Amino acid sequence: MTTRSTVDARRLYFTAPRTVEIRSRSVPRPGPESVRVRTLVSAISAGTEGLIYRGEAPPSLPADEALEAFDGDLSFPLSYGYAAVGEVVAVGEDVPDRWLGRRVFAYNRHESAFLANPEDLLVVPEGVATREAALFATLETAVTLLLDGAPLLGERVVVVGQGVVGLSTVALLAETPLETLLTVEPREKRRRISETFGADRSVDPGRGDLRERFEAIAGDGVRADLTYELSGNPDALDDAVAVTGFDGRVLVGSWYGTKPVTADLGGRFHRDRIEIRSTQVSTIDPRLSGRWSRERRHRITWDWLRRLDLESLCTHDVPFEDAGGAYELLEERPDEVIQVLLTYD
């Protein structure tokens, strides 16, 4: 089934630091092998999009080399976003009609309608609500963090930062037979949720020495085997190293953008053989790529999205036309916000 008409749509653009515009555009009928999707909801990435919004993303960096939808760099004006859930409303002549009406997830920018090839869409399974499906990219990141960190039975794990990625990671780690799971987060609301999700304790980094507080929970002289730095704050890297033990691993899932990083690597870091690694969802760890593919990771992510109750992380729904207010909310009232969803008429 094809459609001959174009539709009026809107797309979000970052045009300058702290400046967001909604621009009108026309979306044509699908080509023979493509479909048109009407967006229902899209999730804002407080980390990546926060850097872009504040002008702290490296402008010459490619937007995302792993996704065909993002073929430019991060300079203004920029249309961005990568967690859209919508409904297929029109199909090209070579696309089976069974695609019509399907709910789909797309790594797509914030816009009210778009064209896509079916192979670039993920069908939302039965049993996953539309709002939960908007968290797919977040949970996929958390799945990647566990694959890259490879927590072992009986290990002691620390997660620094309890935003939506940190909390999703804790929800998965809580299903792993660890000895200790400690989280670090300055905001009280997020600490409470973290413990509800399965952390043994969640502590405020501003109240005392983090290493000493970990020892009070895990035992004198005990440090973490594995520490995740997910706060987006470069200064937190020092805490992550300090709490990690001999031959321990520090996985940095934060993207700091252009913020300077002045980690203290002159102390026990060198003698204690602590490993610092980056982890990023756009690729599969080469050590796993012989057995793991993006498709396998997608299946695992959908499975855990069904099992876990993550919808409580979606604290704010904002109409798409008021998107500028959503970014102001994230910057000015972070104590109240975990995940903001943009909703579309």
Q: Taking each helix axis as running N to C, give the angle between helix 136-149 and helix 164-173, from 0 to 180 degrees, rounded to the nearest 10.
A: 50
Cα–Cα dist 201/182, whole Å: 5
| Whether pLDDT at 85 is above 80 | yes
The percent of residues in the chain predicted with pLDDT above 90, rounded, is 90
Cα–Cα dist 128/66, whole Å: 26
Task: Name the residue among 218, 243, 158 with its Cα closest to residue 194.
Answer: 158
pLDDT score, position 65: 59
pLDDT, one tens digit per residue, over 170-181 is: 999 999 999 999
Tell me the chain's radius of gyration from C-alpha atoms.
21
Cα–Cα dist 345/171, whole Å: 32
Q: What is the mean pLDDT of the chain?
A: 95
Cα dihedral 173, 174, 180, 184 sign: positive
Tell me how crowded residue 30 is: count the other CB atoms within 10 A of its CB.
25
Q: Which residues contact 247 (CB under 8 A, 6 or more apart)?
A: 272, 273, 274, 275
Task: Name the residue among 213, 224, 163 with its Cα closest to residue 191.
Answer: 163
At 110 the three-state DSSP class reads coil
Cα–Cα dist 180/158, whole Å: 8
Give the residue-averaged pLDDT of 280-300. Answer: 96
Cα–Cα dist 261/231, whole Å: 13
pLDDT score, position 3: 52
What ranges in 55-163 are assigned the alpha helix state H? 130-133, 136-149
Cα–Cα dist 152/149, whole Å: 9
Q: Residue 57 has which token pair?
A: 């993303």
Burial class (CB in 10 A: 0-12, 13-18, 19+), 188: exposed
Cα dihedral 121, 127, 129, 132 sign: negative
Cα–Cα dist 53/62, whole Å: 16
Confidence of residue 62 (pLDDT cuts 50, 70, 90): confident
Residue that wins the pLDDT comparison between 145 and 209: 145
The percent of residues in the chain predicted with pLDDT above 70, rounded, is 97
pLDDT score, position 5: 85
Give the DSSP H/E element, type plus range, for residue 184: strand 180-184
Cα–Cα dist 340/202, whole Å: 23
Confidence of residue 69 (pLDDT cuts 50, 70, 90): low
Give me the domains of the chain, ranges plus CATH numbers: 7-135+310-343 (3.90.180.10), 138-278 (3.40.50.720)
251: which strand partners? 228, 277
